[in-house]
Chains A and B, each alone.
Chain A
Amino acid sequence: MSEFFHMGGYALYVWLSYGLALVILVGNIILPMQRRKQHIAMIKRRLRRAQDEK
């Protein structure tokens, strides 16, 4: 197993590449999820306010 992580001496380059891919790919999923939640919450707030004013 440690041989696997060692990557024949190229561990730094290989794992940095895979790690960076993970960060970029996961980040691009989380970001739109958060923005969607914020937008929906904002629309709901405005709807509630509009109802209260009636």
Chain B
Amino acid sequence: MWSFFHRLASPKHFYRFATRLIPWLGWSTLLLFVVGLYLGLFVAPTDYQQGESYRIIYIHVPAAWMSMFVYMVMATAGGIGLIWKMKMADIIASSAAPLGAAFTILALATGSLWGKPMWGTWWIWDARLTSELILLFLYLGFIALQSAIEDRRTAANACAVLALVGVVNIPIIHYSVEWWNTLHQGATVTRFDKPAMATSMLIPLLTMFLAFKLYFGMTLLMRARVEILERERDTTWMKDMIMESGK
């Protein structure tokens, strides 16, 4: 078990591992999306307050959850890279950043599209929305900082520090709806008592969440693979592999 993880720390083995795993993740993601969309758009009943507009939840909530989850993955990988100087950890952190930014943009945009018909406004400076916007700036800051510093090691360290400092924003996003009086509704799923949502609406939401999660796993590996190709292009293993496979 340990030797398996140990080997994954080497870009060469990680590349092979990713290449084997990506198709499996791809097909399971597709299957989950088909099931989730079918349940969410056709099976789940109409909401008695919000009508059909609530169906945006099946994109908005998984995207928002992922925007925070990906941040934690990025900060953890950055921290590991900072302490143990692991090349693979830096690669994971920098591959996660653009994906996290994409999920954050999706969460903000779908939130806006949901807010307009329900609240009557595209945007409001409420605590939940503002802290999510700060999350987007953290991702963009990470990406900008990385491309601004020439030396890879220095860039990775600076980005890891930025990512770790920004972790403080994650609980703020999560609890913003409790700490402040927000227009944004409170938590419906992650409550200590049972979720305040009908099972017929909850199951498609959880299916979509799983689909988003596997999607992230797949695209993270795809980006990490490109990153490895870029960094290791002068190594013999890379040249051998490309000569062998011929593609």
Contacts and interface: CB of A to CB of B under 8 A. Distances in A.
Interface of A: 4, 7-10, 13-14, 16-18, 20-21, 24-25, 28-29, 32-33, 35-36, 39-40, 42-44, 46-47
A39 B230 contact: yes
Given A13-B53, A17-B110, A39-B229, A44 B242 contact: yes
A39 B233 contact: yes
A32 B220 CA distance: 10
A17 B226 contact: no
Contact of B117 (A13, A28, A43, A44): A13
The secondary-structure label for the interface of chain A is helix
Contacts of A8: 46, 51-53
A17 to B, nearest CB: 4
Given A8-B46, A20-B109, A40 B242 contact: yes
Contact of A40 (B106, B109, B114, B247): B247
28 contacts: A4-B41, A8-B52, A8-B53, A10-B53, A14-B52, A14-B53, A17-B59, A17-B110, A17-B113, A17-B114, A20-B106, A20-B109, A20-B113, A21-B110, A24-B105, A25-B215, A28-B98, A28-B99, A28-B102, A29-B222, A32-B219, A32-B225, A39-B226, A39-B229, A39-B230, A43-B233, A43-B238, A44-B242
Contacts, number: 83
Counting chain B residues whose Cβ lies within 8 A of the other chain, the interface size class is 35 or more
A10 B219 contact: no
Contacts of A43: 229, 233, 238-239, 242
A24 B247 CA distance: 27
A4 to B, nearest CB: 8
Contacts of B226: 32, 35-36, 39
B152 interface: no
A21 B211 CA distance: 13
A2 B99 CA distance: 35
A33 B247 contact: no
Contacts of B53: 7-8, 10, 13-14
Contacts of A20: 59, 106, 109-110, 113
Nearest to A46: B233
B225 to A, nearest CB: 6
